[in-house]
Structure formats: structure tokens, C-alpha cells
Amino acid sequence: MEIDAVSIMFYLSDVTSHDHCFSIVPETHNRLVDVNPLDVPEDAGVDVIGPAGTAVIFHARAIHGGRLKPNSSQRRTLQAYYSHWSDQRTAEWSEIPPRLYRKQDSALPPHFYAKWNVTNILDGVGKRPDDLDPNLPLAGVIREVQKRGKLQM
């Protein structure tokens, strides 16, 4: 129960049953917490499809991920995790603009974006592949992960 965060994902493009999509294994955040993610079959879970503007709110502890589908159109999403400011980060995929983490705007809450430079990331969530250069810009990481995903299909 070490993951205490919720997430929201917005589909910025239409996602049909033929497209890469978000998939989640229901109840693995609460009732089925003893399920080992390695024991979950690749085809388990519920695919979430919907038009652009669809919002999915879920507990980050639930087993979830992207479901890759052959011949998919490109899927665009925006995802945010919310947790207590003093907890570990739940992902290292985010680049937070300096204008936000430098707190030049006194109207920003003091702990908002408090984890912008924290490298202590929870295991099993939002981690870059270990074999990638940690200094690789986010766009390069995304390109590499997409390339690896296509090779697996």
C-alpha cells in the first residue's frame, strides 16, 4: 500500500477499439492488493476507449498501463498524478517548467510542484527504462519507448 496517489488521464485525441489505449485491472488498488503485477496476464484489464476529452480518474496503485495495438493511429494524452507533497514522486516522465517550480508567482501554493527535482521515484510506477541515459531529454525517452513498443508488437 506504499502508493498513495490518484491520477487523471485526459484523452486529447479520439481513442477507438483499434487504437493504443489505457488499460486498468479493476480492484487492484484496494481489494486485490496482493496481486503481483508480474502474475497478471498481458490481456488482463479493461481497455478504456472514448472520444477526445474523455477523462479517466484512477488510484495509482491499481495495475494499469498502455495497451498497444497494431495499426493504431497516434494517441495523445495528458496525465497527472496527485499525491501529498512529502511523498515520493510517482513518475519521472514529467518536465515541470522553471516558472512553476521557482515560485516566482507568490500566488502559487508553497508545496505546489515541490517534487520537481526529486529523483526518488516509487518502484513500479512511471520509471524510465534503466538502460536509458538519465540525461536523455523527455522527447528522446518517449521516442525510444515508442520504438521499443513497436518492436514488441
Q: Where along the chain do its domains lie?
A: 1-83, 88-153
For the segment 22-36, the average pLDDT, to the nearest whole number, is: 74
Q: Which residues contact 42 (CB under 8 A, 6 or more apart)?
A: none
**In CATH, what number does 1-83 get?**
2.60.120.620
- 64-105, pLDDT tens digit by residue? 778 888 888 888 888 877 776 666 666 666 666 777 777 777
Q: How far apart are CA 111 and CA 103, in angstroms?
A: 10
- 50-61, pLDDT tens digit by residue? 999 999 998 877
CA distances from 90 to 25, 43, 67, 115, 130 (A): 18, 24, 20, 10, 16
Q: How far apart are CA 96 and CA 146, in angstroms?
A: 22
For the segment 41-55, the average pLDDT, to the nearest whole number, is: 89
Asked if 125 and 3 touch (Cβ cutoff 8 Å), the reply is yes
For the segment 29-33, the average pLDDT, to the nearest whole number, is: 66
For the segment 26-36, the average pLDDT, to the nearest whole number, is: 69
